[in-house]
Every structure is written in C-alpha cells, then in structure tokens.
Amino acid sequence: MKRYALIYVATLLAFGAIDAVWLGTVAGPLFKRTLGPVMLDQFRAAPAVVFYLMQIAGMMVFVVPRIAGAEPLWRVALFGALYGLFTYATFDLTNYTVLRPWTFFLAWTDMAWGCVLSAAAATVGVWGGEALARSLG
C-alpha cells in the first residue's frame, strides 16, 4: 500500500509540475486566443484540484497495476499516453462537438498534450515512487 501511495504522490507532483509549465507557456495563451471572452479571468482552483486528484487516481487504477515493477519504463509511458489520450479526448471531442469556439486545432493540440503529459507523469511517477519505496524499505 505504501508503494502505491508513493507512486501516486510522485505521479501527482510530476503531472502538476509539467502541466503548470505547459499551461503557463503554451496552453494558456492558446486557450485565451481561441476562446477569448468565454474564459474566466481567474481559473477555479477547486475543480482543477479535483481533476488532478481524479486523473492520477485513474492512472493508479488503469495504468499502474498493469505495469509497475513488472514492465520496462517505455511500457509505463505507452500505457500512460493511451490513458491520457482517452481521457483528454473525452473532454476535447465533446467540446469540439458542442461548443462553437472550440476548434479542431485546439482539440487535437490538447489531446496530444494529454498523451505527452500522462506518459511523462506516469513514467516519472512509477520510476520515482518505486525508487523511493525501495530506499525506504
């Protein structure tokens, strides 16, 4: 149980840190340029925190048990990328289907980011969490 808690925390920290850089440098300006007046001036922190906690919980259910400790890290990245694609596609393709300002470019860019982010966070989280679990005994 401690091992999974360490992997969860390491994955959550990696996901949050990597996503913060993306949101601040690329996605924030892209969303503002594309969605403009429909965006809030300040993001709502509570739903963002809930999303991060749930996204990593989903990775712990659907990615980590299949691969942690038994597979090479490239498989962790692959399953993380697939999980990111499927979860981000739910959001992006739904928005592209029903929201006028949501563009094809925005949907595919965000879905690609979901793949990259989830692959990186899962890999760093499993690697870091496993290493920490081994060092703590």
pLDDT tens figures, 62-92:
988 766 566 788 989 999 999 999 999 999 9
Q: Which residues, in sequence order, are CB contacts of 7 under 8 Å at separation 6+?
A: 60, 64, 68, 125, 126, 128, 129, 130, 133
Mean pLDDT of the chain: 93
Domain with 59 in it: 2-136
Instruction: Report the number of distinct structural domains present in the chain.
Output: 1
